[in-house]
Amino acid sequence: MVFLLGVLLFSYIITSALYIPFIKLLYQWKFQRQRQKTLDIFEKRTPIFDSFHSHKAGTPVGGGLLIIVFVSVMLPILLFLMEYFWLPVTSVYSLVTEVKIILFTFISFGILGLIDDAKKTFAWKRERFFGLRLRHKLFLELVLAAIVSYWLVFDLGITILHIPFIGVLDLGWLFFPFSMFTIIAFANAFNITDGLDGLASGVLMIALGAFWTISSSILDAPLSVFIALWIGSLLAFLYFNVHPARIFLGDTGALSFGATFAVVGILLGKMPVLVIIGGIFVVEVFFSLIQLLSKMIFKRKLIPAAPLHLWLQYRGWPETKIVMRFWILAIVLAVIGLWAALLTTSRP
């Protein structure tokens, strides 16, 4: 644990130092949030969103790119150094396969988000749609999630669910589509949640703290080192992302972090607990889904604004108040999920 805390601090210090020149670089590249001119009902941005956040146009996006690059480079280096200096590198699964799955998810979904961010930033004036069209994005997400799920099921042999207070459920090959759905759902849920300064990144950091505890308890070194690096970098990012934000994650970070968060939960064997620990993301996407279905079926909005954080802002809650209270709820959900996960692990 001493080593892991050192990794977290190392990640925080280095990433903090890198973010200052990185933000300046994004300004030079003009990689900044644009004011949306057209509306796609499937996008998280709406006229109500723009009425509250139009002043944020010009803030750099792509803040997740630095985290993805730094963590992806440092993870194999640290694991190699652990082996070199005779530190125990224990893992529940095959070390190489586990690292492959983690980094592929982290990087591939980040590249997809980067393409979307670039299209929004540099091609938005010439295109009818703001960013990638929904069907194109979902198709690519399906392809990436299918690759990851195939490795999870057929390379690592993960097919069971540990359901708290009930027992073990073996899904067999059905785990493959179930895993795909979970990865895509959390990728988009995180993207939807990432609408207020510090909201999604703060909630994720709290949720990862719970997963870090679980990974340490089962002595899974690759996951523990990865999460330590990720939390340290997120902490550095959060310093620049709290209100008023100097940088945003963008879809680069949102899609990558949401998908990887789901994969970490699956690798830990705690997919049902994932819904509890990531409860804020679940509620946010649920509100958006209700709104979308209402538009498609009844041709009208069920609620004035979605997701939940935007509806609360519409009701008059200040942005910082929403973020702080969501962080508190995230802590409570993380404790409940951690309690359920450890209780399930300790059962005979």
Interacting residues of 221 by C-beta distance below 8 A, sequence separation 6+ = 79, 82, 88, 89, 90, 91
Backbone angles phi, psi at 302, to 5 degrees: -80, -35
In this predicted structure, what is the pLDDT of residue 336? Answer: 94
In this predicted structure, what is the pLDDT of residue 337? Answer: 92
CA distances from 107 to 103, 152, 255, 293 (A): 6, 17, 10, 32
Comparing CA positions, the residue from 118, 127, 122 lying closest to residue 38 is: 127
In angstroms, the CA 345 to CA 227 distance is 20
Q: Are 270 and 264 in contact (CB under 8 A)?
A: no
In angstroms, the CA 286 to CA 292 distance is 10
pTM of the model: 0.90
CA-based max dimension of the chain: 63
pLDDT along the chain (348 residues), means of 10: 91 96 91 56 51 72 94 95 84 91 97 90 56 82 96 93 78 92 96 93 96 89 95 96 92 95 92 92 92 83 84 90 96 93 60
In angstroms, the CA 305 to CA 134 distance is 20
